[in-house]
Amino acid sequence: MDPGRFFASSRVLIVAGKGGVGKTVSAATIASAASRSGRSVLLVEVAGRSASAPIFGVEPQGYEQVTAVDETEQDDPPRGRIVLQSITPDQALMEWLTTHGFKGIVTRMASSGILEVVATATPGIKDLLVLGRIKAFESEGSFDLIVVDAPAAGHALGFLRSPAGVRDAARTGTIHRQAVEVLDLISDPTRCQVVLVTIPEETPVNELIETSFAIEDEMGVRLGPVVVNSVLPTLAGLDADLVSLDVSDAERNALQTAVTFRAGRAALQDEQLTRLGAELPLDQFRLPQLFSTTIGPDELAVLTKALLAEIEALPEVES
């Protein structure tokens, strides 16, 4: 499929997954690939600390928007800009109250702890309001694509469940209307898709499969392709005869350790990738494992190229 077309299929992509599967890197890679396809991208992080700024080699700026990549005309197609935006749930709640006619009491509510009671009375309200901010970005239309690095640590489901939860808990009032609007967004596949991230190991694959069915069945949210991170590249020549190589014994032992380890990991990984494909009928975008110590702009470029190739390998779909 043409990447430009892929990234035009919905304006919001929510990238979700458990901790430790490289969700932030995947979200950055998706943003970068979209930019390479000429789309302007807002990359929204829902967390206390900005983790994606270093990936783009820029300084995080708290809750201000940071331009990570400028648009350029030289490339073909022209690159779209990437802007980073960090949102915290507390901040989303305060902003929402301020812009919905509760400005006068926000400070008083916050200092008296009443905000916490509002949050308690309406579970999911903060997650909902984060999604509400994302919906606002969508309606503003300043960007072709909004990529959301969703909260980690097992909260992906809670995050996506929040609008329905709040809609049912608060059956009237301003917040109820907000919940309904956000539900409209996340359940409309032409506006929003969820991209789940995993790594090719047993537990993360199990969790991905469970989460996928929960999201589609319970929430009616459309799942896009799955990103599988840290896939070991296939290496030719692993069956070479080590005895015939002109190396020392220590070197031969080291080579043997490396070959045994690599072959073992590759076999386990293939088993998990096959199982994932059999149990979950979604396309897979496989991103290579990088053997570097940190992920910066150079590594991002490698991953971006790999993702674009994976998108191009998808069959074209009827529009």
Partner 1 sequence: MSTATFAELLAQRQVVIVCGTGGVGKTTTSAATALAAAEAGRRAVVVTIDPAKRLADALGISELGNTPTVIDGPWPGLLAALMLDTKSTFDEVVRRNASDDDQAERILSSRFYRNVSGTLSGTQDYMAIEKLAELYDSGDWDLVVVDTPPTRDALAFLEAPQMLSRLLDNPIYKLVTAGNRGVFGIANKAAQTVVRQLARVVGAHVVDEAVAFFQSFNGMEKGFKDRAEATLALMGDERTAFVLVASPRSDTLDEARYFLDRIRQANLDAAAVIVNRMLPSTGLSLTQAQLLHVSLAATDGAGVSRALLDLATASAADDDRVADLAEAAPHAVLATVPMLADDVHDVDGLRVIADLLTR
Contacts of 209 (CB under 8 A, 6+ apart): 276, 279, 280
Closest CA to 86 of 37, 24, 34, 29: 24
Q: Rule CB under 8 A: which of 66-125 touch partner 1?
A: 97, 100-102, 105, 108-109, 112-114, 116-118, 120-125
Neighbours of 306 (CB within 10 A): 19
Give Cα separations from 86 to 8, 153, 159, 168 (angstroms). Answer: 23, 17, 16, 28
Which of 57, 65, 184, 235 binds partner 1 (CB under 8 A)? It is 235
* Secondary structure (3-state) at 195: strand
Taking the complex as a whole, the smallest distance from the CB of residue 211 to partner 1 amounts, in Å, to 13
Taking a C-beta distance cutoff of 8 angstroms, is the pair 282, 212 a contact? yes
State which residue, 258 or 313, has the beta carbon closest to partner 1: 258
Q: Rule CB under 8 A: which of 192-231 touch partner 1?
A: 201-204, 206
- Provide the terminal-to-terminal Cα distance of the chain, rounded to the nearest Å: 12
State which residue, 213 or 261, has the beta carbon closest to partner 1: 261
Which of 14, 15, 18, 43 binds partner 1 (CB under 8 A)? It is 18
State which residue, 209 or 311, has the beta carbon closest to partner 1: 209
Interface segment toward partner 1; rule CB under 8 A; list 48-56, 77-85, 187-195, 304-312: 48-56
57 is a contact residue toward partner 1 (CB under 8 A): no
Interface segment toward partner 1; rule CB under 8 A; list 66-74, 147-155, 297-305, 309-317: 147-155
State which residue, 251 or 298, has the beta carbon closest to partner 1: 251
Q: Which ranges of 142-248 does DSSP label H, i.e. alpha helix?
A: 156-169, 174-186, 202-219
Residue type, 31: A
Tokens describing residue 217: 């069945």
Q: Rule CB under 8 A: which of 243-282 touch partner 1?
A: 244-245, 247, 250-251, 253-255, 257-259, 261-262, 264, 268
Q: What element of type H or E holds 148?
A: strand 145-149
DSSP code at position 76: S
DSSP code at position 242: G
302 is a contact residue toward partner 1 (CB under 8 A): no
Q: Rule CB under 8 A: which of 152-191 touch partner 1?
A: 152-154, 158, 165, 169-176
Taking the complex as a whole, the smallest distance from the CB of residue 120 to partner 1 amounts, in Å, to 6
Interface segment toward partner 1; rule CB under 8 A; list 7-15, 184-192, 285-293, 306-314: 285-293
DSSP code at position 314: S
Cα 303 from Cα 229, distance rounded (Å): 10
Q: Tokens 């000429």 — which residue? A: 38
State which residue, 48 or 78, has the beta carbon closest to partner 1: 48
Taking the complex as a whole, the smallest distance from the CB of residue 68 to partner 1 amounts, in Å, to 18
Taking the complex as a whole, the smallest distance from the CB of residue 314 to partner 1 amounts, in Å, to 28
DSSP code at position 294: S
Q: Is residue 153 classed exposed, middle or buried when 0-12, 13-18 and 19+ CB atoms within 10 A define those classes? A: exposed
48 is a contact residue toward partner 1 (CB under 8 A): yes
State which residue, 1 or 47, has the beta carbon closest to partner 1: 47
Q: Tokens 């190739």 — which residue? A: 309
State which residue, 97 or 145, has the beta carbon closest to partner 1: 97
Count of residues engaged in binding partner 1, rule: CB under 8 A = 74
Interface segment toward partner 1; rule CB under 8 A; list 4-12, 44-52, 132-140, 183-191: 44-52
Phi, psi of 82 (to 5 degrees): -120, 125
